[in-house]
Amino acid sequence: MKVYKNYEEKYKLLKSGSLSLKENVQHFLNKIDKQKHLNAFNFVFEDSLEQAAKVEKKIKSGSAGKLAGMVIAVKDVLAVKDKPLTCSSNILKNFISIYTATAVQKLIDEDAIIIGKTNCDEFAMGSSNENSAFGPVKNPHDLQRVPGGSSGGSAAAVTSGLCDAALGTDTGGSIRQPAAFCGVYGLKPTYGRVSRYGLTAYASSFDSIGPFANNIEDIALILQVISGYDKKDSTSSTLAVENYSNLLEENPPNLKIGLPKEYFGKGLDLEINLTINNVVENLRGHGFSVSEISLPMTEYAIAAYYILTTAEASSNLARYDAVKYGYRSKQKGDLSDMYINSRSEAFGHEVKRRIMLGTYVLSAGYYDAYYGKAQKVRRLFKNDFDKAFQSVDIIITPTTPTTAFKIGEQTSDPLQMYLNDIYTTSANLAGIPGLNIPVGKDKKGLPIGMQLLANQFQETKLLQLAYYLQKSFFNR
Ligand code: GLN
């Protein structure tokens, strides 16, 4: 199999005939089978070979789309018509989707090949991919460790070369954190940049769909394809989509960088801190202006995030009532028993915990004290970032406080697990874009991720800086 650095190179090989798309897809299918122990896929689409044949013809005839032959896996919370959509939950075990998510449809329309659905935490709730009805995903860099979550399958698949790229979703870090743990690029776009139509809702005012890839060029290209207004999602933005790929080359980006002091304090792994400092010093050496900034709300991120998202989740997950679709308990009883038994039997522990938390914070007696208060706090996060982005273009932080932890290590302590999201949730509270870029490995050989944040709809700046880093420092 010919190796290629990014999609542009792959396309040249396909176009010249020195790479056969059918062989390429077959290679991925074989590799997925060989790496079954990773448990990265919930479903593999054998009909991707037929797709490959069709796209190959289009490439020959010169009528192929922007992503012709790019092989992409999608997280199993995204709808693909006539394919299973389980959200890694027993409650949707036998559910087959009747339509395709807009983001996935846009990939298909540009002749990408969808190779399967990736494993994830149940309904995207988790930071380790251990909350899946399909079992945990293993981190390809160390099989004893988690790949991160909730889009753990997508990150594991991309880092081990089971596909060219993948889609994930990010409500509080679920693209960036697994990208960091697996050593790949992962972008959470601005809220509203990508249509959520066909994404199974977890916390609707936080959820974003974004790409994983091994290089920044492919991230830019996929973002360009999946972005844009969609009349089926009223929260999608009408703002014009930039030509991210063309803008990458604008070099060197004259960007001002801010380092928030709250992100480099207690709790941050020393090796991660040193690695990121090293990159920042390099940037300074290349003439970038770097200054310390403050995001004082940071310490409230986890509390605000888990109040608001559980509230939204408890409401969104009320639809799984066993009436029209999904799992239904076999126990006898009245209508109310049917609801209770079905939901009790089919939802996993973490999902139940969040439904209960969410119901509590929304209950009449506590609404003002928790939900109402957290909504106000959310606004303050936006204010924090607005202020910071008056003086800097990009904020650099660690993506995670530690590198990948061991499977089972944090499952008994939910609060400890939630603290993994300490650096990622603020971006979702404020609706801004965030990108994980792989910047090195620790002594154990585990990937270290660095997070770039920009103001709303400033994805171009993130991509430009990441491209610059990729070329100048990491020789990729
Ligand atoms: N780990 C976070 C949570 O459990 C983020 C999940 C996500 O972004 N989907 O909610």
pLDDT at 47: 96
Contact 419, 401 (CB under 8 A): yes
Nearest CA to ligand 1 atom 4: 126
Q: Is the CB of 126 under 6 A from ligand 1?
A: yes
Catalytic residue among 48, 89, 127, 174: 174
With pLDDT > 90 as the criterion, what percentage of the chain qualifies? 96
Three-class secondary structure of residue 453 per DSSP: strand
Q: Is the CB of 228 under 6 A from ligand 1?
A: no
- Angstrom distance (rounded) from CA 94 to CA 85: 8
> What is the atom index within ligand 1 of the atom nearest the CA of 170?
8
Active-site annotation holds for 291: no
**What are 455-468's pLDDT values in tens digits?**
999 999 999 999 99
Distance 206 CA to ligand 1 centre (A): 10
Q: Is the CB of 424 under 6 A from ligand 1?
A: no
Contact 306, 357 (CB under 8 A): yes
Q: Is the CB of 124 under 6 A from ligand 1?
A: yes
pLDDT at 252: 66
- Angstrom distance (rounded) from CA 351 to CA 348: 6
pLDDT at 251: 66
Q: Is the CB of 171 under 6 A from ligand 1?
A: yes
Q: What is the mean pLDDT of residues 319-328?
A: 95
pLDDT at 249: 81
Distance 170 CA to ligand 1 centre (A): 7
> Which of 77, 89, 122, 125 most suits a substitution to test ligand 1, by most atoms within 8 Å of the C-beta?
125
Tell me the pTM. 0.98
Residue with tokens 């079992």: 135
What mean pLDDT, rounded, does the chain reach?
Answer: 97
pLDDT at 250: 75
Q: What is the mean pLDDT of residues 317-346?
A: 96
Catalytic residue among 10, 66, 75, 83: 75
- Which strand ranges, in their side-by-side order, compose the sheet holding 41-44? 41-44, 113-118, 71-75, 165-170, 208-213, 185-188, 434-441, 447-453, 394-398, 256-260, 289-293
Q: What is the mean pLDDT of residues 109-131?
A: 98
Active-site annotation holds for 174: yes
Residue with tokens 């014009």: 240
Q: Which residues contact 56 (CB under 8 A, 6 or more apart)?
A: 14, 20, 21, 22, 69
Domains of the chain, earliest start first: 7-255+434-472 (3.90.1300.10)
Confidence of residue 2 (pLDDT cuts 50, 70, 90): confident
pLDDT at 476: 66
Three-class secondary structure of residue 305 per DSSP: helix
Identify the bridge partners of residue 257 per DSSP, sorted by sequence position: 290, 394
Q: Is the CB of 200 under 6 A from ligand 1?
A: no
> What is the atom index within ligand 1 of the atom nearest the CA of 202?
9
Contact 257, 430 (CB under 8 A): no
Phi, psi (deg, nearest 5) at residue 447: -60, 145
Contact 235, 190 (CB under 8 A): no
Sign (positive/negative) of CA torsion 406, 29, 48, 85? negative
**What are 291-307's pLDDT values in tens digits?**
999 999 999 999 999 99
Q: Which residues contact 110 (CB under 8 A, 6 or more apart)?
A: 65, 66, 67, 68, 225
Q: Is the CB of 301 under 6 A from ligand 1?
A: no
**What are 221-277's pLDDT values in tens digits?**
999 999 999 999 999 999 999 999 999 987 666 899 999 999 999 999 999 999 999
Identify the bridge partners of residue 187 per DSSP, sorted by sequence position: 435
Residue with tokens 């608001």: 308
> What is the atom index within ligand 1 of the atom nearest the CA of 174?
8
pLDDT at 71: 98
Nearest CA to ligand 1 atom 10: 125
Confidence of residue 472 (pLDDT cuts 50, 70, 90): confident
Q: Is the CB of 470 under 6 A from ligand 1?
A: no
Confidence of residue 218 (pLDDT cuts 50, 70, 90): very high
> Which of 132, 150, 151 most suits a substitution to test ligand 1, by most atoms within 8 Å of the C-beta?
150
| Both tokens assigned to 40 | 């990265």
Distance 428 CA to ligand 1 centre (A): 10
